[in-house]
Amino acid sequence: MEQLELVTKSDHKIIQLKIKKTWQIHLDREVQDNIGSKYNIKLMCDEKWMKFTTHVEKKLKTTTISSRKEKYGITVNSLNKNWKTLKNIIIEAADCAIPKKKIKKFNKKINKEFTKNYKRAKSFNKLYQFIKKERTKSVKYIKSHDKFLKEKKKLSVLNIEIEKILINNRKYEELLYKFKEQSIRFQTIARVEKKKENFKKIQKTIEKRWENLKESPKKMINSILDKPRKSIIMDRLIVESESNSTTKIITDEAEIKTVVQKHFQNWTRKRNTNETMMKEWEKWYKPISTIDSNNYKNLLIEVSIDELEETICLLPNKKVTGQLGLQYE
């Protein structure tokens, strides 16, 4: 732990730690919403790494990592605390110095009515299960129980009053049957609403596809083929000088655009062909006189439907490749 300062003074960007198997490290069970790194390391430069290092050094000086070792020694708790402190410092420094990736947020719209009915069904089911479990107890005891009152309150928030059910069904069996019936009823309503919502989404998607077929077929074809959109990131270019055979790296955005534009203009420019060389190759492209020209007569005849059907029938089945383009034979 005394050598923690070496972490920041090192010029390496990867740190390797060796931990003994006998040490038991407590792992906090945290649910990770975003899988993968949220930092864009590609955009880092020496200045930003220096900022990151300075921040870590500054925070390490104010920590109690070294004093913990002197006071408590190397124990499980002290190790966990030291590691957590170091982790928080690194994350804080990264948030301060390292650029973050743009994370797309997918806001899924949920039908409120479906959610309400689902919650109602859930509450009624809980009441049913509770009454079934406490069948040996009196109805009065069941009504005054905390679990019963809790679910009753939830239903009240969802605009469902169960007072009428309690008044009309005083017996244990009647109450049990009624709560089960209500649970099934709201479950059915929730399922129907979910089906309607899914059907609307399907219809909307179909209409969108038809619209794409008319207006932008390219978009539809890309969607059907599940074609990923590929893009090139040109944040730096290596340019070779033709005059003195030297290379340099360009990172300036405006200069990169100019160089790329110039490159493609020259690449697609009109070529000056060598007429003398073309004449030398001319004899090799002349028709061969020894081949009978009658051999090519039938090549331009249109293929009849009967011939096409006959050829298709002769072809083997299940030989067309799928989206992956793999032939399983």
Residue 13 or residue 90, greater confidence:
90
Residue 42 or residue 7, greater confidence:
42
Residue pair 38/100 in contact (Cβ under 8 Å)? The answer is yes
Confidence of residue 40 (pLDDT cuts 50, 70, 90): confident
Residue 57 or residue 225, greater confidence:
57
Residue 61 DSSP SS3: helix
First-to-last C-alpha distance (Å) of the chain: 61
How far apart (Å, rounded) are the C-alpha atoms in residues 174 and 182?
12
Q: Please give the pLDDT value at position 5.
A: 44
pLDDT at 9 over 50: no
Confidence of residue 19 (pLDDT cuts 50, 70, 90): very low
Output the pTM of the full model: 0.37
How far apart (Å, rounded) are the C-alpha atoms in residues 265 and 259?
10
Residue 173 or residue 3, greater confidence:
173
Q: Please give the pLDDT value at position 77.
A: 75
Residue 3 or residue 193, greater confidence:
193
The one-letter code for the residue type at 81 is K
**Mean pLDDT (the chain, rounded):** 77
Q: Is the dihedral of CA 166, 169, 171, 172 positive or negative?
A: negative
pLDDT at 181 over 80: yes
Least confident span in 46-55, 110-119, 124-133: 110-119
Provide the token pair at 88.
Answer: 């928080």
Residue-wise pLDDT tens digits, 261-303: 888 888 777 777 777 888 888 888 888 888 888 888 888 888 8
Q: Please give the pLDDT value at position 95.
A: 85
Contacts of range 61-67, beta carbons closer than 8 Å, 24 or more positions apart: 63/89, 65/1, 65/4, 66/1, 66/2, 66/4
Percentage of residues of the chain with pLDDT beyond 90: 1
Q: Please give the pLDDT value at position 103.
A: 63
